[in-house]
A and B are shown apart, each in its own frame.
Chain A
Amino acid sequence: MIGVWVFPALFAQPVRPEPVLDVGPVELLNSGEADFNHGRWREATTAFQKFLTNYGGLPDTAATVAKVKPLLAICQVRLGEYDAAITLLDESLSLPDLKPNQRTDLLFFAGMAKLKTGQAAAARQHLGAIFGDLKVERSRRMEALILGGMSYVVEKNWIEAISFFQKHNEEIRAHQADAGARADLLLLFALMEEKRWEDAEALARRMGRNSEGIRQWVQFSSLLIALGSHFLEAGESHRAIILLRQVLPKSEILRLQTDRLREAESEMKFAEQNEQIIRSAQLQATIDEIHRELETFENVPQFDSAARLRLASAYFQQNRVREGCLILDQMVRQMEPDETVESATASLIRGWMSLNRFIRAERTADLYLERFANFPQVPNLPEVMFLKAQALEGQVKYQDASNGYLEVCKKFEHHAIAPQARFMATYNILQQERYTEAEAAFSSQMKTLKPTDEIWPHVAFWHAMTYYFDQKWEECRRELEAYLAATKKRGIGSEYADNALFRTGYTYFSEARYPEAIRVLTGFVSEYPTSEWMAEALLTLGDCHAAEGDLKAADSAYQQIGEEAPGFHDEGWMKRGNLRKAQKDWAGMKSLFTDFLKKRPQSPRTVEALQGLGWVAKQEGDVNEARRIYWEAIWQWGNEPARPGLEDIFIALRGFYSGEDQNLLEETMHNALEKSRAGKTHLLSTRLGWALAQFHLSDRSRDESMEIRKQRSREELVRLAPEIEPKETAPRILADLGDALAETGDSEKAKEIYEGLRKWWPRAPERDRAFAGLGFIAMHAKDELKALECFDRYEKSSIMPKSAPDEHGISLIEGETGGKVALARAELLEVREPDRSLAIFLAMQKSKAMPARLRAEAFLKTGRHQIKQGHTRESLPYFEQVYLLFNRFPDLVAQAYFERGEALEKLGLTDKAREVYSELASRTDLVDLESFKRSVERANALGGVLQPKQPEGAVIPPQPAAR
């Protein structure tokens, strides 16, 4: 391939016979010269030949013949008639009295013709006579130099070619960039043929850096690919990349090459116009060469893929997966599908999977399936389909993944990948907690397998685990025992053996069959001392012993749990404390928990240890000792950065101050807070301030209303705000503080605190409160879209239970915050989505999990919603429901009465409206409310307040709850 591009014919013009006019010698000479000067070589040849034939033998034409022959020879060279030209050129060169320039031209064309006819040494002699003669004009010498060097290339004398070009190329380059680039290309080729790779690389890099002069881009690119491939095969990735990255896309090469061709053609016209015969001849040669290269190049299939695949391979070789994938990604989309593209696309999917870019892997797999669906050879199809399913699994799309795996086993039933695909299909059903289906599928696959099959242990174990998750203990045990027996008997597939034995023990434990559980778990402990399940097994074993009354054995089991599993370790420690409690071993209990606090001060279980110690002190009648223990812990850890369990210590303190001692606790906390503030222990101050606010909220000793208690609590919290650093503050404190600030109207600070909670505590359960709070703030600021976005995020992040979607697809987060958010959302949607808004109000009304007040508000707001929608009559029952069902919320009841009255008036039912207003006017318990006063006014306007009849919907209105 390279040879074809490097050794094109120098000249090849089609021969077009032209008629010759029968004219005299002067006309023939004039016509020949004019044709010669205009590059009409055929016409000139005909005229000169005619002259020589008709007048060449005449005695007085000898001098003219001597001038005509060189011109005819040059024409023949330009026409590619080298043999004829050589004879004339040799003859002409022997003529005396040649002018130096004429001689140089004849030498040049003789060299060119001889080179073309394979007489490289003779050509070199002629060309050497030019380039060796420093008196010759420079541009002619340079052209001669290039052809001289090419003569070695034609002879495949690489060493001489290299030596020649290395000696002269700098001079050629300095003379003319494009000539230098031509010479460099020849040198590059020679170096590669001579396997002088480092020199070739250095030259190729230099050429790449100075590519302006390159006219033969096709040749250059082909040489780059060949050179890059050499380094790739030699494992020298960086060198390969350096070269291959210089290879332009085929379309760009074609564009560049066409541009250069156009430039060369322009330059040739210029040279011809100025009668630069050698330059013109050389440019013609270059142009012809480029034409041939272009023709060949346009027909080269897979040029881009060859280059890109090699470049990608070099990056993969360097372990640059992302880079390799990006190159392949573009490549496989731009190329026509073939075997190379098929294989490359599969590699690309593997690459994206290895980078965990599942979406891209899935998308590439889709591309593969689209492009190769009807391709005759698709060796990678099963794996690609499998990888696509894996990509879906990586995106947590378990059902789609399961379907994908199933498709693999259906389509390639007898392929080696089919059993694995079938297993994975079921495993993804198991991920969806669809145990019955998973059990049936695993069971069905088990029947097709032998224990020696590679997939058998996986299917067997997870089949058993399906029963385990479904709490079918007996069936689970049966399958696990079968699995364990098979692994022991055959010594294969034992990777789940420890897990299987532990789970077996656990099934007995779950059925309260403690002796069997103890037998199995004891065996587990001795058989698998390094198992990852050891900690959990020891805890379960301890529980079994305790249940059997063997407290010593239980204590021993708990004690063996290593610290490397801190959760189980601390749990075991607490249980050991409980064992001592059961044994009424106060001293032992005290010693154990004291030890725990010393050794595990950072544990989230510290509060339990403290409670244990406090409990002991209480049992011993020493409440002060219990208080001392707690306060000591508070002073010791209270200023530490946030960690789970720390705030519980502060809250638990109240358990040791009952009755009148509550005042003492409040005083002690105030004193501690002052001391802490003085000592600038900010975190402790925050915790104490927050604990004090919590204390005020729940302190019923002063006979204050809930609203007053809330007010005091809010004030306590708001005072903390300036000192709060969200990064170090527990999320529950931040959530309480944010709410308090929002309720007191300091939206900016509240927002800051909520944002801090969201930012620093992404896994905290209180994060949903931050989103809800931010939503309410946005709603008050009339930023409806922001509010809706925050409510979406609230619902997404909330850990509270969520109701099943109703017939309108409405699903509510249960609890007070969830209800408030739902009502707020419904209000926000009233204009843009009135139907959905109504559906939310209706869902709220029905939800038993919602606080009663919020349900009452839902009824009231549904009534208002109907009025806004122009459905006045439909609003009536909703208002009515409020005072019939929710009498303990007087403010809502009064509003419902009044607004029902207004609706009736709007409908023209003034008598009925007057009755409703009068009914409210008879409710002395609502006398202070604004709606009451307005109802009285309206009743009077309609004819006066009617005397109370039987109140609508209720015989005796219940007493309202204390406000």
Chain B
Amino acid sequence: MRYVFWIFLMAWAWLRAAPTTPEQMEAAFKARPETDEIHWKDATRGAPLKVRILEITENSVIVEKQLPSGLTRRTIPLNELTDVKFSLTPWEISLHRETGTESLAALRILWQRRSAAFRFPSSGIFRTAIALAKTLRWSATDDGFDEAEKILRVALEEVADNSQRTLLQGELHCVLLSRAIRKESHEEANRLAWEITEEASEASPDAMLLATGFLADRHFSQLRAIEAEHPRWMEDDEIKPIRERLYHLSLDFALYPSLFHGQREPEASTGLKNAALVYQFAGETDLWKGALEDLIQLYPDSPAAKEMAPVLEKFHKSKNSAAPPDVPVEPTEDLPEAEPVPSQNPPPPKNYNLFSD
């Protein structure tokens, strides 16, 4: 019996320093353990075979296996197989979890070598599609968005499993919305964002957070625009309901991340800060203070909390005074330009929508 602990230590070292360049990836592919599986269509060929899969092409899979005769490489036609399963190494798991742009090259290589595996439902290749699309989305370039969309649409055409489709659809939503926001196609972004909120898929928190963040900003921007356009909105029976709707939706959208994805600190804390700003803008002093307290209590280490802490401090200092502290209404730089205020509500939701009246 052999105790080969150094192999484990080597694998651990891989995990710590996952390959990112094509050269490193090539080496990494060759060093992968023989834990992938291929399943024969012809049952007489035996049990699933554990191999190292190097690449899957449109028609075949290239595998390696250490045999008594030495390391053997074979090209097996895909029509001889019923299933292919990848057993991800720790560095591959890490690569799928992280979405830093430094992972892009490695994920691309994974995708290129494995994307033909879509025909095998157990291959898990949809995860690679999502990880790559997400990384491309974070790169925030026009080409990146286009490539991500293409990958996801290919995946959606191939994948039949509903839960996998939901995840792919969620990422596709993120890609499309991010691109629309980047291109300042406000109406397109608005349509996509509402579409996402209608589906309200908990399996795609990224999409919901992106959509609610966009819609919070948009509605707050429109709220400011309508108040600028109608300074006496409270006396205006026609405008008041529109203004009220914008006010409520600004808050509902801003609060969504902290209420439903509270562990996503950047989005949740920014949302709470935005809610505080809406309250400040609306002159709702107690609620303004309350939102600031929530922000600083719930996300004390967030940049938003640090930014807003002096405002709450002013509140505490002026607690004996009935008037709110003298803090200018802030955000204009982060928000899109004021758009025309809608005279009508968006189309009625197809499904239940948390944000629709």
Interface residues of A (CB under 8 A from B): 33, 36-37, 71, 101, 105, 137, 139, 208-209, 211-212, 238, 241-242, 244-246, 248-249, 251-252, 255, 262-263, 266-267, 269-271, 273-277, 279, 311, 315, 318-320, 322-323, 326-327, 329-330, 333, 357, 359-360, 363, 727, 759-763, 789, 793, 796-797
| B4 beta carbon closer than 8 Å to chain A | yes
B203 with A263: CB separation less than 8 A: no
Instruction: Report which of B34, B236, B298 forms a contact with A242, defined as CB distance below 8 A.
Output: B298
- In whole angstroms, how far apart are the Cα atoms of A793 and B229 in the complex? 16
Q: Beyond A242-B297, A251-B202, A759-B229, is A36–B251 a contact (Cβ under 8 Å)?
A: no
| B357 beta carbon closer than 8 Å to chain A | yes
B294 with A320: CB separation less than 8 A: yes
A-B contact pairs, 17 of them (CB 8 A): A238-B294, A248-B263, A252-B202, A255-B163, A263-B93, A270-B35, A274-B4, A275-B2, A323-B255, A326-B252, A326-B354, A327-B260, A363-B357, A762-B233, A763-B232, A793-B238, A796-B238
Rounded to whole Å, the gap between the CB of B265 and the closest CB of chain A is: 8
Which residues from B are CB-within-8-Å of A242? Answer: 297-298
Within residues 60 to 76 of chain B, which ones have a CB less than 8 A from any CB in chain A? Answer: none
Q: Beyond A245-B263, A796-B238, is A71–B5 a contact (Cβ under 8 Å)?
A: no
Which residues from B are CB-within-8-Å of A326? Answer: 252, 255-256, 259, 354
Rounded to whole Å, the gap between the CB of B180 and the closest CB of chain A is: 26
| B307 beta carbon closer than 8 Å to chain A | no
A211 with B88: CB separation less than 8 A: no
Rounded to whole Å, the gap between the CB of B8 and the closest CB of chain A is: 4
A37 with B1: CB separation less than 8 A: yes
A208 with B263: CB separation less than 8 A: yes
A270 with B90: CB separation less than 8 A: yes
Instruction: Report which of B203, B238, B256, B352 forms a contact with A255, defined as CB distance below 8 A.
Output: B203
Which residues from B are CB-within-8-Å of A276? Answer: 4-5, 7-8
Chain B residue at smallest Cβ distance from A238: B297
Which residues from A are CB-within-8-Å of B34? Answer: 273
Q: Beyond A251-B203, A759-B231, A762-B239, is A273–B252 a contact (Cβ under 8 Å)?
A: no
| B57 beta carbon closer than 8 Å to chain A | no
Rounded to whole Å, the gap between the CB of B19 and the closest CB of chain A is: 16
B8 with A274: CB separation less than 8 A: yes
- In whole angstroms, how far apart are the Cα atoms of A252 and B34 in the complex? 32
Most B CB contacts (10 A, CB to CB) among A33, A212, A266, A760 go to: A266
B260 with A330: CB separation less than 8 A: yes
Known: A263-B93, A276-B8. 15 other contacts (CB 8 A): A36-B1, A37-B1, A137-B5, A245-B263, A249-B202, A273-B34, A275-B2, A275-B4, A318-B294, A330-B354, A357-B357, A759-B231, A762-B239, A763-B232, A796-B238
- In whole angstroms, how far apart are the Cα atoms of A789 and B344 in the complex? 12
Q: Beyond A266-B88, A327-B259, A357-B248, is A797–B8 a contact (Cβ under 8 Å)?
A: no
B235 with A763: CB separation less than 8 A: yes
Interface residues of B (CB under 8 A from A): 1-5, 7-8, 11, 33-35, 87-90, 93, 97, 124, 163, 200, 202-203, 205, 229-233, 235-239, 248, 251-252, 255-256, 258-260, 262-263, 265, 268, 290, 293-294, 297-298, 343, 352, 354, 357
Which residues from A are CB-within-8-Å of B93? Answer: 263, 266-267
B8 with A279: CB separation less than 8 A: yes
Rounded to whole Å, the gap between the CB of A642 and the closest CB of chain B is: 12
> Which 5 residue pairs of A and B lie closest in terms of their CB atoms, listed nearest first?
A245-B262, A762-B236, A274-B7, A238-B297, A359-B357
Q: Beyond A137-B5, A270-B33, A274-B4, is A252–B229 a contact (Cβ under 8 Å)?
A: no
- In whole angstroms, how far apart are the Cα atoms of A797 and B124 in the complex? 62
- In whole angstroms, how far apart are the Cα atoms of A727 and B229 in the complex? 12
Which residues from B are CB-within-8-Å of A33? Answer: 1
Rounded to whole Å, the gap between the CB of A201 and the closest CB of chain B is: 12
- In whole angstroms, how far apart are the Cα atoms of A761 and B239 in the complex? 12
- In whole angstroms, how far apart are the Cα atoms of A37 and B251 in the complex? 60
A329 with B8: CB separation less than 8 A: no
Rounded to whole Å, the gap between the CB of A352 and the closest CB of chain B is: 10
- In whole angstroms, how far apart are the Cα atoms of A209 and B263 in the complex? 8
Interface residues of A: mostly helix, strand, loop or mixed?
Answer: helix
Chain A residue at smallest Cβ distance from B286: A319
- In whole angstroms, how far apart are the Cα atoms of A264 and B152 in the complex? 27
Rounded to whole Å, the gap between the CB of B16 and the closest CB of chain A is: 11
- In whole angstroms, how far apart are the Cα atoms of A275 and B56 in the complex? 28
Chain A residue at smallest Cβ distance from B232: A762
Which residues from A are CB-within-8-Å of B230? Answer: 759, 762
- In whole angstroms, how far apart are the Cα atoms of A274 and B34 in the complex? 10
- In whole angstroms, how far apart are the Cα atoms of A327 and B255 in the complex? 10
Q: Beyond A248-B263, A270-B90, A274-B7, is A760–B97 a contact (Cβ under 8 Å)?
A: no
B239 with A101: CB separation less than 8 A: no
Rounded to whole Å, the gap between the CB of A950 and the closest CB of chain B is: 56
- In whole angstroms, how far apart are the Cα atoms of A276 and B33 in the complex? 14
- In whole angstroms, how far apart are the Cα atoms of A311 and B352 in the complex? 22
B88 with A263: CB separation less than 8 A: yes
Which residues from A are CB-within-8-Å of B3? Answer: 101, 105, 275, 277
Chain B residue at smallest Cβ distance from A101: B3
Which residues from B are CB-within-8-Å of A248? Answer: 263
A273 with B263: CB separation less than 8 A: no
B354 with A270: CB separation less than 8 A: no
B8 with A139: CB separation less than 8 A: yes
- In whole angstroms, how far apart are the Cα atoms of A273 and B87 in the complex? 12
Instruction: Report which of A208, A319, A327, A760 forms a contact with B290, defined as CB distance below 8 A.
Output: A319
- In whole angstroms, how far apart are the Cα atoms of A270 and B50 in the complex? 12
Instruction: Report which of A251, A273, A762 forms a contact with B235, defined as CB distance below 8 A.
Output: A762
Chain B residue at smallest Cβ distance from A269: B35
- In whole angstroms, how far apart are the Cα atoms of A270 and B255 in the complex? 43
B8 with A246: CB separation less than 8 A: no
Rounded to whole Å, the gap between the CB of B67 and the closest CB of chain A is: 16
- In whole angstroms, how far apart are the Cα atoms of A245 and B237 in the complex? 39
Rounded to whole Å, the gap between the CB of B202 and the closest CB of chain A is: 5
Q: Beyond A266-B88, A333-B352, is A246–B232 a contact (Cβ under 8 Å)?
A: no
Most B CB contacts (10 A, CB to CB) among A209, A245, A277, A760 go to: A245
Which residues from B are CB-within-8-Å of A330? Answer: 200, 260, 354
Chain A residue at smallest Cβ distance from B296: A238
Instruction: Report which of B35, B258, B259 forms a contact with A273, defined as CB distance below 8 A.
Output: B35
Which residues from B are CB-within-8-Å of A208? Answer: 263
Q: Beyond A249-B202, A323-B255, is A241–B231 a contact (Cβ under 8 Å)?
A: no
Chain B residue at smallest Cβ distance from A764: B235
Rounded to whole Å, the gap between the CB of A265 and the closest CB of chain B is: 8
Rounded to whole Å, the gap between the CB of A409 and the closest CB of chain B is: 29
Instruction: Report which of A238, A333, A359 forms a contact with B298, defined as CB distance below 8 A.
Output: A238
B297 with A252: CB separation less than 8 A: no
Instruction: Report which of B1, B252, B298 forms a contact with A322, defined as CB distance below 8 A.
Output: B252
Chain B residue at smallest Cβ distance from A362: B357
B357 with A252: CB separation less than 8 A: no
Which residues from A are CB-within-8-Å of B5? Answer: 101, 137, 139, 276
Rounded to whole Å, the gap between the CB of B263 and the closest CB of chain A is: 5
Which residues from A are CB-within-8-Å of B1? Answer: 33, 36-37, 71, 275
Which residues from B are CB-within-8-Å of A255? Answer: 163, 203
Rounded to whole Å, the gap between the CB of A122 and the closest CB of chain B is: 25
Which residues from A are CB-within-8-Å of B2? Answer: 275
Rounded to whole Å, the gap between the CB of B36 and the closest CB of chain A is: 10
Rounded to whole Å, the gap between the CB of B165 and the closest CB of chain A is: 14
- In whole angstroms, how far apart are the Cα atoms of A761 and B238 in the complex? 13
Which residues from B are CB-within-8-Å of A71? Answer: 1
- In whole angstroms, how far apart are the Cα atoms of A242 and B357 in the complex? 29
- In whole angstroms, how far apart are the Cα atoms of A75 and B7 in the complex? 22
Q: Beyond A245-B298, A762-B239, is A211–B263 a contact (Cβ under 8 Å)?
A: yes
Chain B residue at smallest Cβ distance from A315: B259
- In whole angstroms, how far apart are the Cα atoms of A147 and B209 in the complex? 40
Which residues from A are CB-within-8-Å of B262? Answer: 241, 244-246
